[in-house]
Copies of this chain bind each other. A is one copy, B any other.
């Protein structure tokens, strides 16, 4: 058992050295054919019997009656795309954000470096970034009348410790907050990461999943999905709901996976899976959900995929010599190195020319 593990690691290390040794995508300008956005999903709901109020919408404007009763669109998601003049990738590359966030984390890093959107555009992918239902530009449904809610707001302490920046967040004296050794998250820009957070709703997963399914269904040519944290689960389910359409699943620290005892995963056999996990998962103080995902729920699923003959690459970054990654791998200082690993994997699978 120990020998087998070492052998697997050795192979991975060699692969990684080869990957990191070859040149990453060079900085260059991007020739864009089309840039835009659209909404997917959503349904009409009506409210009535609520009291009418009076409101001045703009300072200096005239007071207007505000009637909250009527029809609304709820449950839609937002999609933003950049299509290249000459894409090198076979399939559009979707980037799905984690819980309590929107797609902005892929645009730029908290310390102002170009994000994975730029990296993968320069690498020749048409990039689609979305805001899930009730997050960011997807808007949210009136609570508690339509969405049962409540919205959950992440504290700075929660973000600091749960995303594995350090063991202790000291809100009174920030200098007394601790940072893990070798930390790659740009901790001096922590506030910018917090600003990119949005409330999450734990009562609207059904809407979210439906919109993600419809989103993928819109691509007859197929798609590749990068999914972070909470979105890992949505991505696997969207693949189950859209046979043949999801060509690869790139799962960045997914916070869960469908239970293979409860789902028929046969349809997922031909989808190559790439898992990437950061550092510090062995720290005793690390959040239960992270350990549970990394050690229990996700391996149960990924092993089931392997057992039916599926193609699974599982990378624990510290085990291949890359130390210091937080949960927010695409924001970390080595974000381009990790993007490079992903791009090389896609090349190896034949998804990029």
Listed in ascending order, the chain A residues whose CB lies under 8 Å from chain B are: 29-39, 42, 44, 46, 55-62, 64, 66-73, 76, 78, 80, 82, 85, 99, 102-104, 107-108, 112, 114-115, 117-118, 121, 131, 136-137, 139-140, 142, 151-153, 155-158, 171, 191-192, 194-200, 202, 205, 229-230, 233, 255-259, 287-289, 292-293, 297
Contact = CB atoms under 8 A, between A and B. Distances in A.
A57 B229 CA distance: 10
Given A39-B196, A140-B199, A71 B153 contact: no
A79 to B, nearest CB: 10
Contacts of A255: 57-58, 61
Contacts of A293: 58, 61
A195 B42 contact: yes
A interface majority secondary structure: mixed
8 contacts: A29-B32, A36-B117, A37-B104, A55-B202, A60-B259, A60-B297, A68-B153, A139-B195
A104 B117 contact: no
A106 to B, nearest CB: 9
Contact of A256 (B58, B155, B195, B200): B58
Contacts of A137: 102-104, 131, 136-137, 196, 198
Given A31-B30, A158-B70, A59 B121 contact: no
